[in-house]
Amino acid sequence: MSIFRLTKILKALSNQTRLELYLQIARQSEADFETGCECFITDIVGSLNIGAPTVSHHLKELSNADLISTERRGKFLTATINKKTIEEVIKVLSENIK
């Protein structure tokens, strides 16, 4: 993983609202593991107390950093955590701590 990519990922997670959104998607994805590890955004947005345009912006930033993928299902938007990205970040950080 390049330093540029790592910086982009960490920058995406450095925003408090974005991190909260990411963690809620991760928790919801784990809870729904048997149904495909995806989360309906409408299920979690209410708890963040932010408007739809702000949510859309944060989802785009998380997606651009390859932390999540989103898909439209009729009227609903689903999000899925990209576990591979986080595993790569953990690997890079742990290799450089030694």
Q: What is the pLDDT of residue 72?
A: 87
Residue 74, amino acid: G
First-residue to last-residue Cα distance in the chain = 17
Helices 3-13 & 52-64 angle (0-180, nearest 10): 160
Q: What is the pLDDT of residue 33?
A: 46
CA atoms within 13 A on the CB side of 3: 1
Residues of the chain with pLDDT under 50: 33
CATH of domain 3-95: 1.10.10.10
pTM of the model: 0.82
